[in-house]
């Protein structure tokens, strides 16, 4: 009997032990409204993840996510510097489309903000550092510090992020002026255009898109670094451009925003009018939405709990965008916890939404008293233990099966460069380059010449570039026969062959391309012509002058030509001065400016500034906590017997110079604040003689105090603080209230 019972028990273990129970919380979406024809699904939620801010897919289709749990865990931002963040691997082990297992890959991180699965490992940002670690058995090994100056300390809203691998094999960031690449085992770091604030994306051609809080979509009209090769010419028209003036939003409810009291922020129904915290743009390249959604720009608007859809329009030398609809959004919700902060195209062609799902997403250094009050009213500061990833799928389109790229042969990966899904193409290209699969070079060369698949041609060219397998003759052939987009990339890659040996063939090629009379091709020809002219003035200067005359009023063309001229602009000046028409042109004035910049050594700042400075309000918040909060309170509420409140104090209002004088010299009571008399026994000391506190530090404190404790933020420059040092109290010690009020009346204008 005991034997039969034991056998029965073993069978039970075998049967049920192979079917573990998965905890998949059911999250209702009845408060969410998505565009007709699409469906929304929660594929990951708490408790598997909390406060996600960025994600990526690995070659097996698993989701890797960065959790920024330390961000605004309460309304005062306490615990921000605690090592509570992590990077997790999410899996769907029962294959029902919902993540049911989470594995911690790295923990004890301080505000991790970005990640990218590249080079057989993971690149991730934990300010101020950028790290890379190889992956073995889902664990980090051989960590490498890629950049110790990746981000300045300070506000997480203003630190580099994104880590997006582009078609050109470089990794780009938002809120940064550097790009990265690993080649032959070494990490490369190069200056690039400073772009955006939170989130970055690229289109099929390789142009970059980004945004900032109040501008929902920005972008570059040209490919990365085409306009920044001449260090003395700083582009203004071809990069960092506003692609749409329409910042209007159409929320479903009256969500609370930081300065909702200010004129024009809300409409008569208390609905947000324009974006105030736009982030996480994504150019949809998934191939699983209807055709008119291809390369649409989706934008996160977390303050209003919605996603926008913009339609891109391409004009050869520029890009523009327009909102898909007036009066509605692609996705919107009345759920105040819905905080979309990033978007990803997935291996199946769906759009994935990283929902931080946090009550407070504005940094404490920026929160106005107005918003703090309303956050408390709705208890939004208590929503801190949630986080979700949503999946947007088109009902009428079957998602692609997720290919297991990690096990594919080189030939199979090369075939995927034709795939409709941009994520699949990008990943296949990267794996071919990273694994150095040179045996596939012949197939790649055939694909590079396949005019029926122009997007695949571009991927093939940069795969060959990454494998050091490009040839001059191949590029010339592709440039001559390709579409304008393919030709433009070929012109860029031909610059690797600049030498006298190739002058005659390139001259013939450029002649054929000019005869096409195509603005797109002419723009990239203009950006390359100066590089070749440096080798042979006789062969290529006539082309330079021809383009200058043809596009005399085109600002982007001017920037393209000047960028390509590099440090030989002086020779161009000599040629232009022989043409009376060009002497009166914009070209001539810009060339003169560039040559003057060179003489004065005034370079584009991206070549001289090694890292970004800390945001003043964030710096001020730290200094306030160190110096002022012991008496005035963390929330500016004042402490009985020590100091009066700062919240809504007349000394934090106009003229703001009075606050500067108090910080410099101190204050002797009694003093009135908000109609209440404070007769404190102690004197507030000034910082005038504190050698460790600079004028810039005091300026930062004022920026923070004015923002945090007043509904009308103001600031004082470090130079003004320096001037205020000459204004001293009569006693030579601390100011009195009477003296401050007299100063205020004299300087009220």
The contacts of residue 228 (CB under 8 Å, 6+ apart) are: 191, 192, 193, 235, 239, 563, 604, 606
Place of tokens 């860029």: 492
pLDDT 10s digits, 63-97: 999 999 999 999 888 888 899 999 999 999 998 99
For residue 522, pLDDT beyond 70: yes
Where along the chain do the CATH 2.120.10.30 domains lie? 33-231+238-394
Amino acid 2: pLDDT: 39
E strand or H helix that includes residue 281: strand 279-283
Maximal CA-CA distance, the chain = 110
Q: What percent of the chain has pLDDT over 70?
A: 91
Question: Shortest CA distance to 67 belongs to which of 53, 80, 79?
Answer: 53
**Percent of the residues in the chain that have a pLDDT greater than 90, as a whole number:** 61
Q: What is the CATH number of domain 33-231+238-394?
A: 2.120.10.30
pLDDT in tens, 237-257: 999 999 999 999 999 999 999
Enter the DSSP assignment of 687: S
The model's confidence at residue 26, banded by pLDDT at 50, 70 and 90, is confident
- Exposure string (b/e) for 532-558, b if CB count within 10 Å is 16 or more? bbbebeebbbebbbebbeebbebbbbb
Name the architecture of domain 616-746: Orthogonal Bundle (1.10)
Nearest to 406 by CA among 663, 648, 61: 61
Residue 652 · residue 698 · CB < 8 Å: no
Would you say residue 538 has pLDDT above 80? yes
Angle, CA of 337, 268 and 706, to the nearest 5°: 65
Instruction: Tell me how far CA of residue 157 lies from CA of 218, 327, 354, 616, 620, in angstroms.
Output: 17, 29, 16, 13, 15
- The number of CA neighbours under 13 Å toward the Cβ of 376 is 9
Local structure of residue 39 (DSSP, 8 states): E
CA distances from 65 to 118, 175, 210 (A): 14, 20, 21
The CA distance from 348 to 345, in Å, is 8
Residues pairing with 300 in the sheet: 279, 307
Task: Pick 516 or 619 by higher pLDDT.
Answer: 516
* Contact predicate 465/429, CB 8 Å: no
Closest CA to 349 of 297, 293, 299, 431: 293
pLDDT tens digits, 458-472: 999 999 999 999 999
d(CA 729, CA 683): 14
Q: For residue 595, what are the CA distances in angstroms to 176, 277, 562?
A: 27, 40, 10
Residue range(s) of every CATH 1.10.760.10 domain in the chain:
616-746
């Amino acid at each position: 009997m005991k034997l039969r019972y034991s056998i029965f028990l073993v069978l039970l273990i075998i049967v049920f032990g192979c079917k573990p129970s998965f905890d998949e919380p059911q999250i209702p979406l009845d408060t969410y409204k998505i565009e007709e024809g699409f469906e929304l699904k929660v594929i990951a939620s708490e408790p598997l993840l909390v406060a996600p801010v960025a994600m990526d897919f690995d070659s097996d289709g698993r989701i890797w996510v960065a959790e920024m749990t330390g961000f605004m865990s309460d309304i005062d931002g306490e615990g921000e510097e605690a090592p509570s963040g992590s990077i997790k691997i999410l899996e769907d082990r029962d294959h029902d489309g919902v993540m049911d297992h989470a594995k911690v890959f790295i923990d004890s991180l301080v505000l991790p903000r970005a990640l990218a699965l590249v080079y057989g490992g993971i690149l991730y940002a934990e300010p101020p550092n950028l790290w890379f670690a190889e992956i073995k058995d889902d664990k980090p090994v051989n960590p490498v510090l890629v950049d110790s100056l990746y981000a300045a300390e300070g506000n997480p809203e203003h630190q580099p992020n994104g880590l997006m691998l582009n078609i050109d094999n470089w990794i780009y960031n938002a809120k940064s002026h550097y790009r990265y690449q690993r080649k032959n085992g070494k990490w490369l770091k190069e200056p690039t255009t400073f772009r955006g604030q939170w989130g970055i994306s690229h289109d099929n051609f390789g142009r970059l898109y980004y945004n900032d809080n109040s501008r929902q979509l920005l972008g570059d009209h040209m490919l990365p670094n085409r306009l920044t090769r001449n260090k003395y010419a700083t582009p203004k028209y071809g990069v960092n451009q506003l692609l749409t003036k329409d910042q209007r939003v159409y929320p479903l409810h009256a969500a609370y925003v930081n300065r909702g009291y200010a004129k024009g922020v809300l409409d008569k129904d208390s609905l947000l009018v324009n974006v105030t915290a736009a982030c996480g743009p994504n150019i949809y390249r998934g191939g699983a939405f209807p055709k008119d959604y291809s390369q649409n720009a989706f934008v996160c608007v977390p303050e209003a709990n919605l996603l926008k859809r913009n339609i891109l329009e391409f004009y050869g030398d520029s890009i523009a965008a327009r909102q898909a609809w007036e009066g509605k959004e692609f996705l919107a919700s009345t759920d105040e916890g819905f905080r979309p902060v990033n978007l990803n195209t997935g291996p199946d062609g769906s759009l994935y939404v990283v929902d931080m799902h946090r009550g407070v997403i504005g940094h404490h250094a920026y929160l106005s008293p107005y918003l703090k009050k309303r956050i408390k009213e709705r208890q939004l500061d208590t929503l801190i233990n949630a986080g979700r990833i949503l999946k947007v799928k088109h009902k009428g389109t079957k998602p692609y099966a997720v290919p297991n790229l990690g096990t594919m042969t080189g030939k199979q990966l090369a075939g995927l460069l034709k795939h409709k899904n941009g994520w699949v193409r990008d990943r296949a290209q990267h794996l071919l380059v990273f694994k150095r699969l040179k045996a596939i070079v012949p197939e790649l060369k055939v694909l590079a010449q396949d005019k029926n698949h122009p997007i695949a041609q571009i991927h093939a060219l940069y795969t060959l570039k990454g494998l050091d397998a490009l040839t001059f003759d191949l590029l010339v052939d592709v440039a001559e026969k390709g579409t304008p987009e393919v030709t433009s990339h070929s012109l860029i890659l031909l610059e690797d062959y600049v030498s006298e040996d190739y002058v005659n063939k390139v001259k013939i090629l450029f002649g054929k391309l000019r005869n096409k009379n195509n603005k797109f091709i002419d723009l990239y020809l203009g950006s390359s012509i100066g590089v070749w002219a440096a080798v042979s003035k006789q062969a290529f200067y006539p082309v330079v002058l021809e383009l200058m005359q043809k596009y005399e009023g085109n600002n982007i063309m001017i920037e393209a030509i000047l960028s390509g001229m590099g440090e030989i602009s002086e020779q161009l000046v000599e040629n232009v001065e022989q043409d009376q028409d060009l002497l009166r042109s914009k070209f001539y004035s810009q060339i003169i400016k560039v040559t003057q910049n060179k003489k004065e050594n005034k370079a584009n700042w991206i070549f001289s500034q090694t890292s970004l400075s800390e945001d003043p309000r964030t710096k001020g918040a730290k200094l306030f906590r160190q110096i002022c909060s012991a008496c005035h309170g963390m929330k500016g509420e004042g402490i009985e017997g020590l100091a009066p409140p700062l919240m809504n104090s007349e000394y934090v209002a106009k003229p703001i110079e009075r606050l500067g004088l108090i910080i410099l010299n101190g204050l002797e009571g009694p003093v009135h604040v908000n109609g209440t008399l404070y007769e404190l026994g102690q004197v507030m000391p000034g910082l005038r003689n504190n050698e460790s506190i600079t004028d810039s530090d005091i300026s930062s404190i004022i920026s923070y105090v004015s923002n945090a404790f007043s509904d009308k933020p103001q600031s004082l420059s470090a130079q003004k603080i320096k001037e205020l040092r000459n204004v001293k109290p009569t006693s030579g010690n601390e100011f009195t209230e009477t003296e401050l009020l007299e100063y205020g009346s004299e300087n009220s204008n």
